[in-house]
Amino acid sequence: MKLSRPVSWFLLAFGVWSWFIWITFVKNLWKDGSGLAFDDAGHPTAYFWVHLLLAITSFLLGTAVGVIGLRGVCALRREDAQKKKD
């Protein structure tokens, strides 16, 4: 399957955006002072574990989508370079 240039760049940008957003979310989750993420004794709550799992899943999916986009961009660049040689 061949991806178009806009689709490849969109997927790559989505992967980068996903990492940016979820890293920020995990930092905020870790510093949570509202009592949702950690109980009074400082132990992680179910809220913390669920949201950490959500963030990890999003990291993995964002990485996969970004890699697909990167491969599409690289393939298009190789194709453009080959056309210039011909």
Splitting the chain (86 residues) into consecutive groups of 10 residues, what average pLDDT does each group show?
Answer: 93 96 94 90 94 96 97 93 82
Angstrom distance (rounded) from CA 42 to CA 52:
16
Take residue 84 and report the two structure tokens written for it.
């210039």
Q: What is the pLDDT of residue 70?
A: 97
C-alpha angle 22/76/17, rounded to 5°? 10
Angstrom distance (rounded) from CA 71 to CA 86:
23
Q: What SS3 class is residue 16? A: helix
Q: What is the pLDDT of residue 73?
A: 95
Angstrom distance (rounded) from CA 37 to CA 44:
6
